[in-house]
Amino acid sequence: MSDQATTVPAPTPPAPVSVVDERLAHVSLLTKLLRRPELGALMAATVIGIFFGVTTSEFGTLDGAANWTDVASTLGIPAVAVALLMIGGEFDLSAGVMTGSSGLFMGILATEVGMSIWPAILLTLVAAAMVGFINGYMVVRTKLPSFIVTLATFFVLQGVNLGVTKAITGTVRVAGIGDVSGYDSAFKVLGGSFWSPHDFRVTVLWWIAITAIATWVLARTRVGNWIFGVGGDQVAARNVGVPVSRVKIALFMTTATASALVGIMIALRLASVQAGQGIGDEFNYIIAAVVGGCLLTGGFGSAFGAAIGALIIGMAFIGIQFEGWNTDWRFLFLGVILLLAVLINNFVRRSAEGARR
């Protein structure tokens, strides 16, 4: 039956026979490029940038760039964290509404409780990390899909945002953050702008820094390797000693904290927060991550790609405005690029995984 398999020389030690698979021998440039998850996003960003740059007069100027990098950065900071989470094999649908929750929480601490702004910011980040911990802990313990667990968190936070804000302020917004002590220094660091007269937002610098750190963590640290392992096959990862639960909980905490940071930035910039802030943005983060090459099934993706994904969304939103088109068209755009990205990613994954699955 399988007698051919028995041609192994058993008693005498065989010399190491080189069994080079012919597929190992040749790695084409195309294969190497296809392994880069962010390649598609980079090409799309170039095409979209050129398109709006040619068809509108403002888009290609520095003033225009200040506009679209602003949108890209406030989407990009959470999107990079969401990308890490998705590579780790999980979702967070509460990431959008968390920007509202954190802004409101900080605003209430500052205006109603009477804290000065820096302690309020610190406390807000800690509170957000706790929400992230609860998300992660519930996912790890119950083994329920994170889609469901964080959907519940999403609605809980949305309810709290509206209910608590109305109960405390009597309105659906928290205002007057600009009068709190320490506001000026906090605004400079988190809400202000640089490079006048173009006035790029400081959030852009934060976005670049966070993307760089996340890329470094993924590519060059043990934790980065664990994130890929946990998302790729958590049983295999656990078998070789990766602390799967701790990695996942840490990723949820990172995502919630990144969202909270953006929530704080927006609250400082506007000096007030609407109770409905951030709802729907969770999809933008996920779209940015997917366009940047993250697989919905985990184990593959890139933080840099997610940043480029956010850039694409930022360029499209502002570009559509500059064109003078109805801004409702941006949703159509989001839908189309999401679909295209998923199709491309699916193809890339199949070639990366080989014929096995």
Partner 1 sequence: MTATQTDGNHALLEVRGVSKYFGNVIAIKDVSAAVGAGEVTCVLGDNGAGKSTFIKILSGVHKQDEGELYMNGDKVSFASPRDARERGIATVFQDLATVPLMSIWRNFFLGSEPEKKIGPFGFLDVNSAKRIMREELKKMGIDVRDPDQPVGTLSGGERQAVAISRAIYFGAKVLILDEPTSALGVKQSGIVLRYIAQARDRGVGVIFISHNPHHAYPVGDRFVILNRGHLQGSWKRGEISRDELVRMMAGGAELDQLTHELERAPEVQTTQ
Nearer to partner 1, 22 or 328 (CB): 22
Is-cis flag, bond preceding 145, omega within 30?
Answer: no
Mapping DSSP to helix (H, G, I), strand (E, B) and coil, where does residue 200 land? strand
Least Cβ distance, residue 345 to partner 1 (angstroms): 12
The answer to whether residue 19 forms part of the interface with partner 1 (CB under 8 A) is yes
Q: Are 273 and 174 in contact (CB under 8 A)?
A: yes
The answer to whether residue 9 forms part of the interface with partner 1 (CB under 8 A) is yes
The answer to whether residue 33 forms part of the interface with partner 1 (CB under 8 A) is no
Burial class (CB in 10 A: 0-12, 13-18, 19+), 349: middle
Q: Quickly tell me which residue has 């990766």 as its tokens.
A: 242
How many residues sit in the footprint of partner 1 (CB under 8 A)? 51
Nearer to partner 1, 143 or 328 (CB): 143
Stretch that binds partner 1, among 160-168, 218-226, 309-317, 338-346 (CB under 8 A): 218-226
Stretch that binds partner 1, among 1-9, 98-106, 193-201, 309-317 (CB under 8 A): 1-9
Q: Are 76 and 303 in contact (CB under 8 A)?
A: no
Quick one: which of 263, 312, 239 has its CA closest to 95?
Answer: 263
Tell me the pairing of strands 193-194 and 273-274.
unpaired
Question: What binding mask, one character per residue, do residues 220-249 give for partner 1 by CB under 8 A, x or -?
Answer: xxx-xxx-xx--xx-xxx-xxxx-------
CA distances from 356 to 36, 263, 277, 351, 353 (A): 20, 43, 45, 10, 7
Nearer to partner 1, 49 or 305 (CB): 305
The answer to whether residue 300 forms part of the interface with partner 1 (CB under 8 A) is yes
Sole binder of partner 1 in the list 170, 197, 324, 354 (CB under 8 A): 354
Quote the CA–CA distance of 352 and 251 in Å, as a whole number.
25
Q: Are 91 and 146 in contact (CB under 8 A)?
A: yes
Of 34-63, binders to partner 1 (CB under 8 A) are 35
The answer to whether residue 8 forms part of the interface with partner 1 (CB under 8 A) is yes
> What's the DSSP call for residue 240?
T
The answer to whether residue 207 forms part of the interface with partner 1 (CB under 8 A) is no
Q: Which residue ranges make up the site for partner 1 (CB under 8 A)?
A: 1-10, 13-14, 16-21, 23-25, 27, 32, 35, 219-222, 224-226, 228-229, 232-233, 235-237, 239-242, 295, 299-300, 349, 352-354, 356-357
